Amino acid sequence: MRVICIECGALGRINKTNRLSDNVAHLYCQCTDAECGYRWVSTLAYSRPLNPSRRSVGDAVLAVLGLSSEQRAILASTLNEQLAGEQKTDLNDKNKPIYQRR
């Protein structure tokens, strides 16, 4: 992770990390420019996930593997019904905005 000195714009160095919790830490930083020498504390915080953890998906797969064949069939039909319902609502919603990546 890079930190930038707000006084001169040079790269900073993280000298110490003080964890306040699992999701928040104070970073004690120092400018690498000897003429500047600015020191500061930044706060680093967890915001939100972008992708689900592969570990949690793997646990779900293992749980499904532990089901009986009858339970797996019921689960599959329920998921297929939900998926079919979502596809129908997507096709019927003409006011839904269309997003295009460029």
How confident is the prediction along the chain (102 residues), in pLDDT tens digits per residue? Answer: 899 999 999 999 999 999 999 999 999 999 999 999 999 999 999 988 887 776 666 566 656 677 777 887 888 888 888 877 766 655 555 555 555 554
Q: How far is CA 21 from CA 14, 18, 45, 50, in A?
A: 18, 9, 9, 21
* Predicted TM-score (pTM) of this structure: 0.52
Contact of 11 with 32, CB cutoff 8 Å: yes
Give CA–CA dist 29/4, Å, rounded.
9
Give CA–CA dist 1/73, Å, rounded.
47
DSSP 52: -
Give CA–CA dist 28/41, Å, rounded.
5
